[in-house]
Amino acid sequence: MTSHPIGASVIANGFYVDKLMTSAPTIEDVIEIKQQVIEVLNKGGFPLRTIATNDASIIADVTAVDREDIIQVEDVDYVKELGLKWSPFLDNFLFSYTQPLVSSKVSKRIILSNIARFFDPLGLLNPLMVTCKILLQQLWKFRLNWGESVPPSNYTQWESFCTKLPLVENLRVTRLVACDYNSTTHAFVDASTRAYGATIYVVSNSTSALLCAKSYVAPTKEVSLFRLKLSAAVLLAELLEFVYKKIHHNTGNVQCWTESLIMLAWTKGDPSRWTTFVSNRVTKIQLLTHHYYWHHVPSELNPAEILSRGTKADKFIDNSLWFHGPHFLTQDAQHWPPPSSNAINDNNIPEQRRHNIVLLTNPTTDIISEHKCVTNYNKLLRIMCYVRRFADASRGIRTNQNSITASEINHHFSPFVASSKVPNSLMNYPCFKRTASFIGS
């Protein structure tokens, strides 16, 4: 709407089902958004209710009926938004987990219902969720029914993981991630034989924060680790494209990191050099990240490694590498990890396309070589005269029907007859060597 451009844009992009979530740099901007959104929705008969904000002055004119109810548990106040817990006063995202009743029987249904308790659209808990997904994938391989008890080894694994899940209640994730034209984006990618994924961090004002993450379990069909790392790079490229379409952020300063030198060599090479699987994915990566920069990072500084292998809650809650990235993100570029000294020879890069070289020849008929049985040069000339007569007769040319004469031979084969020596191509045959004197006669 031309009369309310800001409100119309927020409504078009900020709604999910019946919930609107948005933000702005200043209080004045948020108040302007609130007023325009309310006016636009009121014109359509959709009054805006259950409003919550992290600054009370923004909703000072909103009645208590139209405000979101604040839930208070112990010393934490929060509201529920889209399955997430958000503390307006702390401006943090919170997570909770209610441990189920102890049961001697654990099935796929029970494990899946416990995993579904978490709603994590940003992927902040992905290292935990990856562990659950890997366990579920193992259970699918056993082809168990939904209510059938899992094998003892998987039961022990689930119990060990599940007993530590309540620790996520101690997790506080800052909502604000400052994305402006002065910030730098760092994206990390990694893969293992069990899962692969990508993480994105935003660095602004010497602080680094996790923006979002995404992961998938590796396919059950055996795939090489290099191909999985390449699939993770495709996931990273798609995630970056999705994020920057949503936040309308400057994409000029984006750094991508991987520990795979093979994957770097693939993405920097011409896609036509590689096999079909690699070529298709390299083409997509180059299309989506052609204005980004790719670097090599050691595995111990790669937060995506936590994502590709999974972890337990006790090792996850205070993991600074996951929530803030490696320490060099807040430093100048000269302090970033240097390029790897393990250069890869082009001939050693796997998945190179095989080039089939075909040599074509244009065979020609050598009449002389086809008549090796003729041991007399004079006889060969007479034979060729008969051949010449036959060719002329085939074209309707009237020919002499008498015997071959010396004048006829001289007429048709004068270059050879008049020569003082036999051509080199003919001297390979013994008959020409023995009749060389005849040629000069």
- Nearest-10 Cα torsion for 375, 379, 381, 387: -110
The predicted-structure confidence for 104-152, as pLDDT tens digits, reads as follows 688 998 888 888 888 888 899 999 999 999 999 999 888 888 889 999 9
User: Between 126-141 and 108-115, two packed helices, what is the crossing angle to 10 degrees?
Assistant: 160
Q: Check if the beta carbon of residue 190 is closer than 8 Å to that of residue 226.
A: no
Residue ranges for the chain with pLDDT beneath 70: 1, 82-83, 100-104, 248-252, 341, 343, 363-375, 413-441
pLDDT for 218? 95
The predicted-structure confidence for 180-221, as pLDDT tens digits, reads as follows 778 899 999 999 999 999 999 999 888 999 999 999 999 999
Three-point CA angle 386, 392, 397, nearest 5°: 135
pLDDT for 202? 93
Residue 331: C-alpha distances to residues 160, 327, 336, 419 (Å): 38, 8, 7, 88
Residue whose entry in the numeric block shows the structure tokens 């004002």: 205
Per-residue HEC secondary structure of 188-203 comes to EEEECCCEEEEEEEEE
pLDDT for 15? 85
H-run or E-run covering 380: helix 377-394
Q: Where are the domains of the chain?
A: 1-69, 108-169, 369-439
Its pTM stands at 0.77
Cα 411 to Cα 107: distance, rounded to the nearest angstrom:
103
pLDDT for 427? 46
Find the DSSP H helices in 116-224.
126-141, 152-162
- Nearest-10 Cα torsion for 397, 401, 404, 408: -30
Residue 417: exposure state from Cβ atoms within 10 A (0-12, 13-18, ≥19): middle
